[in-house]
Structure 1
Amino acid sequence: MTVHSQGAMTAAPQDAPRKPAGRPEETASPTGPGPTSPRGGRKSLPSGWLPYLLVAPAVLALATLLLYPLIKNVILSFQDINKIEFIQRKYPFAGFSNYTQLIGDADFWTVVARSFAFTAANVALIMVLGSLIGILLNRLGKKMRLVLSMALVMAWAMPIVASVQVFKWLFDEQFGVMNWVMRSAGFAGYEQHNWMQTGLSTLTIVTVLVVWGSIPFVALNMYAGLTTVGAELYEAARMDGANGWQTFWKIVFPNLRPFFLITTFLEVIWVFKAFTQVYAMNKGGPDRASEILPVFAYVEGQSQAHYGLAAAISVLTILILVVVMSFYFRLILKQEEEQ
């Protein structure tokens, strides 16, 4: 209520806001509120740099652990380093002599052919058997599916060296289970039979080992892929009178083609560089008849002390694998373009 000089009283409007004491009145800018800077005046990084900063530690670790050894290995492949040079710490430059020696060596090309045959046989068996077991997982009931899945995971989780020792015991010359099984089945000539007396028989046992250890990966991924195929597609195929084989090629394979391409690509890489299984089984023997390229490079470098030559073998192995995979990459890219 306000009192004028004449003594009259008037009432002040009740909805007028009160101004806080001790705070000056703020006036709004005619152009609106301006942009506020971050605390401390620091400028934020451009948003485009954030993904690169996040992957930088992983890239740095890979460069330290993989790229640097690869570069050193390439340099070593151009040097003539044997046991004497290694002891004397001399690293003479040899140019392309290691590579020309390998290209003109018939044993090298024998190992290359053996490596390709070994890889093709293993990958074919792994993909066929793994796909069949994956289909079986999709058809089984819940309890049996759980039992089979646990068995697959246990086989997959077993360390490679431990599984090699189990297989060496199974095929042992004196106390092996396989000799006992063959004798019990009535076959003659299996008294202390040596299953690793030839390179072919040794690689056959290694193939069984590699296939046994790789099937779980394909089977479990195949089962996961089959769960994405709609039940209505199977029902439509049954109504059209398609059998199991026709259902697989007309329904399952077209829907899971990316799975088959990627899985085959991974298996080719893993089998081609299967060093531990071959070397731990019989060290590439007998008489180096079961060596594949990784084992061939290791034996030349460690056993024969031809370090420069071994480095050249490893570089050629990488180049061969890159050339083979380039055709496969073209197939994958073509498949993506069609989709």
Structure 2
Amino acid sequence: MSVQTDDAPPPVRSTPRTTPPGTRPYADDRPGGPKQTTGRLPYLLLLPALAATAVLLGWPLVMNGLLSFQNLNMTQLIQHVTDWAGTDNYRATLGSEDFWRVTLRSVLFTAVNVAVIMLFGTLTGLLLARLGPRMRLLLSSGLVLAWAMPVIAATTVYQWLFAQRFGVVNWVLDAVGIHSMAGFNWTGGQIPTFFVISLLIVWTSVPFVAINLYAATTTIPKELYEAAALDGASARQSFATVTLPFLRPFLLVMTFLEVIWIFKAFPHIFAINEGGPDRLTETLPVYAFVEGVGNQHYGTGAAISVLTIVILLGLMSYYLRAAMRQEEDEK
């Protein structure tokens, strides 16, 4: 027989918590523990953004798709006549050698520029992470100013820098002894024009990659670097085993965004030389504009723009699969 003393507290009996009939059990009583949010509120919060996306993006895409099946020029446009052409615009475009030549040029142009942007953007971002506060602020300010400059304003500056007669670049090259470049026409050939355009695109795109990469480096725990140093890892080994794994998802996303940005770049190319000389620097967006608006073949231009979207989706399929594979690995 047990004897209860005054010093020992009386036993406490736990009573099971019950819920009224017809109600759901408490969130922490169910398997999984955390409370799950249900209802229509999340969908209602997303509704304004989805409606704006449908109006601003969906409707123009639908109208552009309908226009690509029409034979529309200035005559039909003035008379408000709809002349359905079926798939004639797509057949004519896909059967044109110019279209495939421009497509190959666009892919190569995008690949080269994205590679250069990611290289210099990554190096600049890592440099920001190693600089002191004052130098980091100075470099970041310069990057933000370069990134925030309007495209047309930046294009005007580059046209002035690379002008044939009074350009700063030709003057500097002539001053250092390269006298053959005194009156060089940077927009008179395909390769020099692409060089100027690529320099402009890289200059306006590197700040975006660099600043975001620096922000990503601030999320890496310092304890990992200390542990690597205790294990005797060199700076290169520390970068390969600590920094790079953390930055790999970011680099994948940045590459994804830069491919889209460069492939659809229009004002940089058109403002420099309107796709010239002799249409040798046209990419798909410029080609669609020249064929549609310049030559007043609006249905053909719409078909080219639709094919441009399809080609871009095909190019991005690899990155989409890589991103989905990475999410599955994280789970």
Q: TM-score range by the shorter chain?
A: 0.7 to 0.9
CA deviation string 1:52-108 (max 9, x = no partner) = 222212211221111111111101101111222222322211111111111111110
Alignment equivalent of 2:282, drawn from 270, 274, 291: 291
Q: Which runs of 5+ in 1 are unaligned?
A: 1-31, 36-45
Range with greater deviation from structure 2 (243-252 or 257-266):
243-252
- Residue of structure 1 equivalent to 2:34: none
Q: Which residue does the alignment assign to 1:15?
A: none
1:127 CA drift (Å): 0.8
User: Which residue of structure 2 aligns with residue 251 of structure 1?
Assistant: 242
Q: Once structures 1 and 2 are overlaid, which stretch shifts more, 55-64 or 97-106?
A: 55-64
Is the counterpart of residue 233 in structure 1 residue 224 in structure 2?
A: yes
Find out whether 1:266 has 2:257 as its counterpart.
Answer: yes
Q: Percent identity?
A: 51
Tell me, in whole angstroms, the C-alpha distance in 1 between the residues paired with 2:235 and 2:262: 30
1:85-234 matches, within 5 Å, as 85-234=76-225
User: Which letter does structure 1 place at the counterpart of 2:171?
Assistant: W
Question: How many angstroms apart in 2 are the aligned matches of 1:249 and 1:171?
Answer: 40
Distance in structure 2 (CA, Å) of the matches to 1:247 and 1:299: 51
In 2, distance between residues paired with 1:141 and 1:338?
Answer: 36
Which residue of structure 1 aligns with residue 3 of structure 2?
A: none
> SS of 1:189's equivalent?
helix
Q: Which whole-Å deviations, capped at 9, do the CAs of 1:198-251 have from their partners, x for residues lacking one? A: 122112111111111111111111111111222233234344454444332222
Q: 1:179 to 1:73 in 2, by over 3 A?
A: same
Count of paired positions: 296
2:269 to 264, 278, 284: 278
- Give unmatched runs, 5+ long, in structure 2: 1-19, 24-36
Structure 1 match to 2:11? none
Paired with 1:142 and 1:176, the residues of 2 have a C-alpha distance of 36
Q: TM-score, normalised by structure 2?
A: 0.86
Note closer, same or farther for the CA distance 1:212–1:68 as it changes in structure 2 (3 Å cut). Answer: same
For residue 263 of structure 1, what is the amino acid of its counterpart? Answer: M
Q: Report the 3-state secondary structure (helix = DSSP H, G, I; strand = E; otherwise coil) of the residue aligned with 2:249.
A: helix
TM-score, normalised with respect to structure 1: 0.84
> Which residue number in structure 2 is paired with residue 322 of structure 1?
313
Deviation (angstroms), 1:262? 0.8
Which protein has the larger Cα radius of gyration, Structure 1 or Structure 2? 1
Counterpart position of 1:27: none
Q: Is the 8 A contact 2:173 2:182 kept in 1?
A: no
Aligned with residue 60 of structure 1, among 51, 56, 66? 51
Q: Structure 2: which amino acid aligns with 1:256?
A: L
Which stretch of the first structure deviates more once superposed, 318-327 or 142-151?
318-327
Q: Measured at CA, do residues 218 and 308 of structure 1 come closer, stay the same or move farther in structure 2, by a change above 3 Å?
A: same
What's the C-alpha RMSD, in Å, of the aligned pairs? 1.8
Q: Which range moved further: 198-207 or 293-302?
A: 198-207
Q: Deviations over 1:297-322 (max 9, x none)?
A: 11111110010000000000011111
Query: Distance between the aligned counterparts of 1:177 and 1:240, measured in 2?
Result: 52
1:337 to partner: Cα distance = 1.2
Separation in 1, partners of 2:118, 2:218: 18
User: Which of the residues 285, 302, 313 maps onto 1:311?
Assistant: 302
